[in-house]
Structure formats: structure tokens, C-alpha cells
């Protein structure tokens, strides 16, 4: 079934939070004891749930991908999330994904590829070859953060499957399991969540397959056990909890494009000159900061990626 939602901001908590989920959240907030109120975002209500930090991961700092900008706090990065499979409010994923089990995990690889198959997570991610990269991250909703991600280059990850010359695009799919992902019981999006990249975007050195952050295993709410990080694109391209990777000749339809084709395109490159139909994209609020800052073309990665889009009308290809 295909239900159209206008955009994340238009879905209020009341629309999507049933009584049971609400009760669960209340009792959790009571149990957690500590509640952080009044963040820079004003109305945000953030229970402090980050008590069980993840397992440490060994990762080599990749100094080529760095920034002198202040890192967003671990607390912000792990408690202010978009992951509609676990609820549509920013604090929902941290609460509702607490007991999600991201192991064992299998990824299906198919389509235009020489080594298709069902792969165990351990067989496609070498935990001894992880690197840390600090990237800016910019949500289409005009908030942003700076995060030390841990993972591998998406190119090296993809190359192990040997895509064929017919592979012009790569499509990623999130787990569909409403028992484990309670948000999928509501038709707020067309499940399962799907995203895609053009092959040259996927193979770009900035693109990353992420398995951790802040030197630790990826928290469930951030997309455990593996999610994309393509830092010059809006946040929604960075699909979480991936179970399928398909190579194809044709441009895939991504979930947000299906939900609102006038508002969300395939490319979703951060572009301050092209407004969202209902709000400006010129500025953004960095989590933890009060004053807005200017949004940079391609999220500040123009020198690296602008050539990928040479000759394309970025107003049409938004």
C-alpha cells in the first residue's frame, strides 16, 4: 500500500504514536530518571538514554577526511534521530530500538554483479580495516551535525562483489520486519525503505559504508549494523540497517521520492540555492548551537563532488 505523507514535519506525534507506544515511552522516561529539557531546538524533549555505550571498534583516523569544526555531542548524535521504522519523533528511535538485535545479520547482493549471494555481516566487513572519518551531515529538515563515523569506503565495500558493466545504479534496502521495527506497522512510508545512488556517486572516495560512530559499534538508532554515509547529500539518502544491495541499469525509486516526488528527488544533493517547496535550504541549525549557519553547496564538499554533476540542471535534478 502506498500512503502519501507530506513530509516528516507534517506528521505529528499524535498521528503516529499509538497508546501503547506512548505508555511505553512514558514508563521509559520515568525509569531513565534523567530528562534533558530545552535544547537549542526549543521544543525538543530528550530522555537521556545513552547509558549503555557500544562496544569499542578499532579504527584508523583518515586525516584526508577531517574538519576542524566542533564535533556534535555523542548524546545529540544518538538521541536526535530520524529512523521512521522506530517512530517518527526524533526521540523515538533511541527508545524503540533499544532492544533491536543487529546480529546475526545477512545482506543479500543481487542484480548486475558477478558475485551475488547472501553474505553474513562478518564476511563483508573486515573489522581490522576500519577507518574513522569526520563528516558534516545535513538533514533536509535544516539541522546538521558533525560526526566521527567509522566504516570503510563504499567503493572498496562494493568492489568485493564485482559489479558488472551493466551496473549503472546501486539500490539499498532496509530490513522489513514489523515485529522488530514497530514503526513499520504504520503506513507513514512505503516500506521497506529504499535508497539509491548512481554508480559513480557510490564509487566516489567520500562515500562510506558505516558500521560505527565515536569509535564504537553503531547504535541501533543510528542504523546498526550498517548504513550509508554520503556527506554531500541530504540525510535521507543515508539509509540505515541495510539488508539488500542490488545493482541495476535503471535509476531506482527511493522511498522519499515515492512519498513526495515534488519535494524529494533522486539526487538530494545539499544545495542552498534550491529551496524545498515549503522551506528555505539556505541555512541550517547545527545540533547544540543556537544561531543558524549558512548551508554550503554540496554541504561543503563542492571541490570534491561538483564534477559529478557537470552539465546537469540541479533545479530539475534535485
Q: Which residues bind Mo ion (CB under 5 A)?
A: 82, 139-140, 235-236
- Nearest in space to 219 (alpha carbons), one of 207, 230, 229, 210: 210
- Based on the shown chain and the rule CB under 6 A, indicate whether residue 150 belongs to the binding site for ligand MTE: no
Judged by CB, which is closer to ligand MTE: 112, or 184?
Answer: 184
Query: Which residue matches cell numbers 525509569?
Result: 31
Question: Residue 82 carries which DSSP code?
Answer: -
Q: Would you count residue 299 as binding ligand MTE (CB under 6 A)?
A: no
Provide the minimum distance between the beta carbon of 52 and Mo ion in the complex, in angstroms, as a whole number.
25
Spatial neighbors of 265 by CB under 8 A, at least 6 apart, are: 257, 317, 318
Length of the chain: 318
Is residue 134 close enough to count as binding ligand MTE by CB under 6 A?
no
Which CB, 1 or 310, lies closer to ligand MTE? 1
Comparing CB distances to Mo ion, the nearer of 112 and 242 is 242
Considering only 61-69, 82-90, 125-133, 301-309, which stretch makes contact with ligand MTE by CB under 6 A? Answer: 82-90
Check if the beta carbon of residue 172 is closer than 8 Å to that of residue 196.
yes
Which residue in 65, 236, 298, 318 binds ligand MTE (CB under 6 A)? 236
Which residue shows C-alpha cell 553547496? 297
Q: Which residue has the cell 584526508?
A: 64
* Spatial separation of the C-alpha atoms in residues 270 and 141, rounded to whole Å: 11
Please select the residue that binds ligand MTE; options are 72, 174, 184, 254, rule is CB under 6 A: 174
* Cis preceding linkage at 77, omega within 30: no
Q: Which of 5, 49, 79, 84 binds ligand MTE (CB under 6 A)?
A: 84
Comparing CB distances to ligand MTE, the nearer of 163 and 212 is 212
- Asked if 76 interacts with ligand MTE (CB under 6 A), we say no
CA-to-CA distance for 246 and 238, rounded, in angstroms? 16
Q: Give residue for cell 539488500.
A: 244
Pick 100 or 234: Cβ nearer Mo ion: 234
290 close to 300: Cβ distance less than 8 angstroms: no
Residue of 240, 246, 285, 286 that binds ligand MTE (CB under 6 A) = 240
Max distance between CA atoms of the chain, in angstroms, equals: 56
169 binds ligand MTE (CB under 6 A): no
DSSP of 143-189: EEEEEEEEEEEHHHHHHTT-B-TT--EEEEEE---TTT-GGGGSTTS
Residue 49 or 112: the one with the smaller Cβ distance to ligand MTE is 49
Q: For residue 2, what is the DSSP state?
A: -
Placement of cell 571498534 in the chain: 57
From candidates 16, 49, 139, 211, binder to ligand MTE by CB under 6 A: 139
Could you say which of 17, 21, 50, 83 contacts ligand MTE (CB under 6 A)?
83
Q: Does 238 bind ligand MTE (CB under 6 A)?
A: yes
Closest to ligand MTE by CB, 193 vs 247, is 193
The answer to whether 317 and 309 are in contact (CB under 8 A) is yes
Instruction: Check binding of 222 to ligand MTE (CB under 6 A).
Output: yes
Q: Which residues bind ligand MTE (CB under 6 A)?
A: 81-85, 139, 174, 193, 222-223, 235-236, 238-241
Amino acid at each position: 500500500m502506498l500512503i502519501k505523507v507530506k513530509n516528516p514535519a507534517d506528521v505529528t506525534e499524535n498521528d503516529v504514536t499509538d497508546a501503547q507506544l506512548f505508555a511505553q515511552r512514558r514508563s521509559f522516561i520515568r525509569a531513565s530518571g534523567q530528562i534533558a529539557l530545552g535544547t537549542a531546538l526549543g521544543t525538543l524533549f530528550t530522555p537521556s538514554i545513552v547509558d549503555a555505550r557500544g562496544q569499542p571498534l578499532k579504527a584508523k583516523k583518515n586525516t584526508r577526511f577531517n574538519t576542524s569544526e566542533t564535533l556534535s555531542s555523542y548524546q545529540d548524535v544518538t538521541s536526535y534521530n530520524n529512523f521512521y521504522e522506530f517512530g517518527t519523533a526524533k526521540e523515538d528511535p533511541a527508545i524503540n530500538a533499544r532492544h533491536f538485535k543487529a546480529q546475526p545479520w545477512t545482506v543479500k547482493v543481487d542484480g548486475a554483479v558477478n558475485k551475488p549471494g547472501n553474505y553474513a555481516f562478518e564476511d563483508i566487513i573486515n573489522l581490522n580495516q576500519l577507518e574513522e572519518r569526520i563528516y558534516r551531515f545535513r538533514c533536509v529538515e535544516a539541522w546538521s551535525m558533525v560526526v566521527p563515523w567509522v566504516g570503510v569506503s563504499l567503493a572498496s565495500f562494493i568492489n568485493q562483489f564485482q559489479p558488472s558493466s551493466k551496473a549503472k545504479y546501486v539500490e539499498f534496502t532496509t530490513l522489513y520486519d514489523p515485529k522488530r521495527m514497530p514503526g513499520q506497522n504504520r503506513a507513514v512510508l512505503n516500506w521497506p525503505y529504499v535508497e539509491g545512488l548512481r554508480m559513480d556517486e557510490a564509487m566516489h572516495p567520500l562515500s562510506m559504508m558505516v558500521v560505527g560512530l565515536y569509535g564504537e559499534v553503531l547504535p541501533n538508532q543510528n542504523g546498526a549494523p550498517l548504513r550509508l554515509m554520503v556527506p554531500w547529500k541530504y540525510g535521507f539518502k543515508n539509509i540505515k540497517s541495510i539488508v539488500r544491495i542490488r545493482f541495476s541499469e535503471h535509476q531506482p525509486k527511493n522511498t522519499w521520492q515515492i512519498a513526495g516526488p515534488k519535494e524529494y528527488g533522486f539526487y538530494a544533493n545539499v544545495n542552498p540555492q534550491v529551496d524545498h517547496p515549503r522551506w528555505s535550504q539556505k541555512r541550517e541549525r547545527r545540533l547544540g548551537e543556537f544561531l543558524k549557519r549558512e548551508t554550503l553547496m554540496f554541504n561543503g564538499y563542492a571541490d570534491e563532488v561538483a564534477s559529478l554533476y557537470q552539465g546537469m540542471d540541479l533545479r530539475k535534478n534535485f
